[in-house]
Amino acid sequence: MNQDRIALVALIAAGMAGITACHGSNTPSDVQLTQLLRVERAQATDPRAPLDGSAINCLRAWSGDVELSAALPPSLSGDAVKTACRQRLDGWIADATRNPDKIKFEEVAAPPSVRRAVALLADHRTATAPMQMPSGQDRPPGALVSNAPNAPNAAPAVPVDMTATVTAVDELDGLCQKAKQAATNGETSQPIARYASFCDKRIEQLRSRIAMIQQSGNSQQAQMLATNVQRTLDMAHQIEAQNAAPAKAQ
């Protein structure tokens, strides 16, 4: 009887170990997270590629973890913003160059994966700028980085509302895609063709800057960026109107 009980316990333990191993295998590795969340300009095979801060903030918003989402500004808690950033990440997940192993969104948005992505964001940023002094504006909240001690007497960043800026960048992204499509079809003027050649990179820079300011809580920088984004959006609308005018004349 005792032998049967011991055998049953051993069988249950083996089954639990199998379940744990299976669950652990669904957590993306550092290499997979880096390849998926790298900035646009980075090489797909670079293991130390800088990561996209706005994409990681999006994962924090979708993680469902109170600690991960607590430090996010209110502008990232709205359904419209979360939906927009989720669509962007879904595009990355569908991209075989970013996600050759076909990781699912639910796997990369799980709290353990997001915590690791936050740590990699800080780690890779330090690696790509070794001569720069560490700045609180360039680092995610210390409590979100595994094994990273909190800075003594550090005042928490005050959230800044950048909803309008995020919305303007999303609109700018839509105009950029239209410009690129027009350039591809040859239905474009020279100014919009030039704009299509660099707009993707510019939008990437703006998203990264938004993520940094949201983490630092610098309201002055937020206002300056908002003005810059609005100016860029006005320019894009003007270029679009100039390109549409010849078509209407025909």
Whether the full predicted model's pTM is greater than 0.75, yes or no, is no
Do 67 and 143 meet the contact criterion of CB atoms below 8 Å apart?
yes
Q: How confident is the model at residue 215 (pLDDT cuts 50, 70, 90)?
A: confident
Q: How far is residue 201 CA from its own chain's centroid? A: 15
Q: Which of 70, 69, 209, 215 minimizes the C-alpha distance to 140?
A: 215
Q: Is 31 exposed, middle or buried (0-12, 13-18, 19+ CB in 10 A)?
A: exposed
- Of these ranges, 7-11, 83-87, 115-119, the one predicted with the greatest mean pLDDT is 115-119
Paired strand residues for 38: 51
- End-to-end CA gap in the chain: 93
Q: Is 11 exposed, middle or buried (0-12, 13-18, 19+ CB in 10 A)?
A: exposed
Min mean pLDDT across 54-68, 80-94, 137-151 is at: 137-151
d(CA 217, CA 31): 30
